[in-house]
Amino acid sequence: MIKNRVLRVIFDTDRIIVVLFTMVLLTVLGQLLPNIYYKYFDKTNYITVKQPVPVDAKEYRPGDTILLLLERTSQLDIALDGQYELALVRATDRYEPIAEQNTRGVVTMGRRIIIYKFQIPDDAPTGKYFIRGVYPYSFKGRDISYPFTSDFFSIL
């Protein structure tokens, strides 16, 4: 009699259906919740650059090469395309893009000092400049762009 009661409790079809439904529900939620968190709630910049980015000199001439000393920290190992733009300062909060360069590379986890060479065009007008950069990358379904700027310098 006790044995029959135990078997009825264990093999009760309603309980089996509830257990199976719960297992499927927890499996689906376990897959979806992290993706939803990373896509909609996570605002972490996994790649950062100490700003303003120092340059190797304060004055350059057209045709010179600028050395950017990027102190980059990454929490990921990821491939990305860096975009750099030489910008001429026209007025307060206004600038004119003069030249741009793109680079492709692999970012490794940790803190690194990177020296990036930016070639000034031969026809660059004189004035006050800076370099704008951006590191666009994707992580867990989220597109992230990390912008940075250099110190100001002059082209004579």
Q: Is the pTM of this model over 0.75?
A: no
Task: Report the distance separating Cα 39 and Cα 33, nearest Å.
Answer: 10
* pLDDT for position 124: 93
Residue 129, token pair as written in the block: 């400049």
Instruction: Judge whether 127 and 88 are in contact, CB under 8 Å.
Output: yes
Q: Answer with the residue of higher pLDDT: 7 or 150.
A: 150
Tell me if 143 sits within 8 A of 115, measured CB to CB.
no
Query: What percent of the chain has pLDDT above 90?
Result: 41
What DSSP element (H or E) covers 13?
Answer: helix 13-36
Contact 118, 66 (CB under 8 A): yes
Residue with tokens 């897959």: 31
Per-residue confidence (pLDDT) for residue 56, from 0 to 100: 93
Instruction: Show Cβ contacts of residue 52 under 8 Å, excluding neighbours closer than 6 positions.
Output: 130, 148, 149, 150, 151
pLDDT at 61: 95
Reported as a pLDDT band with limits 50, 70 and 90, residue 52 is very high
